[in-house]
Chain A
């Protein structure tokens, strides 16, 4: 049974690819890089170049406040499906999603609180959060 499980690195890569495709499908824009990293029962996701062309136009036109509002609403809109995607791939319940983006750098950061540490072939490689 254990052999059927993905390693932590494989699961992180699979999630990264799925999230990249998810952004492309839902926002029509493919981020240049998605990094996923489990730590304890949490998952950190960093999405580079996550800003859509529509938002970029708003920024270019000096409509920064509107761009921020659009980004915040887009994040809210895609969150339920993102939650489902993570649940499906990692096979754990998602308790909470915390998300923020910086329009200047185009970077989005997400912290996902999971119900438990996902099952992987090498559980010892998932670093524990320090507290």
Chain B
């Protein structure tokens, strides 16, 4: 399950941003999945930061997250076969890391 989860998330980054993630780690507690993605920062964001356009880099990241994170939520729902009822996520470009917490409920079994 984790291999599929990791691969699908990596694919999203690759397809949407041509960005290869360094590392993905996760922990599953009851009805909670905590996931961290390292190496999320794209070269354009790095360049903006290096040229003192930190605020602009943050704005870019906000938009990128708004595109990527719903897809990660969908991947979690698909791979774990659950319904995510809350998805909380944040990124710090300084440390090149995105963290997300998905609270989910199990789908009712078909009868």
Contacts and interface: CB of A to CB of B under 8 A. Distances in A.
A40 B90 contact: no
A130 B95 contact: no
Interface in B36-54: 36
Contacts, number: 78
B39 to A, nearest CB: 12
Contacts of B101: 44, 46, 100, 109, 111
Contacts of A42: 25, 27, 34, 36
B85 A39 contact: no
A6 B15 CA distance: 46
Residue from the set A40, A44, A100, A102 with the largest chain B CB neighbour count within 10 Å: A100
A102 B94 CA distance: 24
Interface residues of B, number: 27
B88 interface: yes
Nearest to B2: A130
B80 interface: no
Given A96-B95, A109-B88, A130-B2, A46 B32 contact: yes
Contacts of B86: 102, 105, 107, 109
Contact of A127 (B23, B27, B85, B97): B27
Interface string A84-117: 0000000000011111111001011101010000
Contacts of A46: 32, 101, 103
Given A96-B95, A98-B98, A98-B99, A107 B26 contact: no
B68 interface: no
B2 A39 contact: no
A32 interface: no
B59 interface: no
A16 to B, nearest CB: 14
A20 interface: no
10 nearest A-B residue pairs (beta carbon): A109-B88, A111-B99, A109-B101, A98-B99, A131-B25, A98-B90, A39-B27, A100-B88, A129-B25, A44-B34
Given A100-B101, A109-B86, 14 more contacts: A37-B27, A37-B34, A40-B25, A40-B27, A44-B32, A46-B101, A98-B90, A98-B92, A98-B97, A99-B90, A100-B88, A100-B89, A109-B88, A129-B26
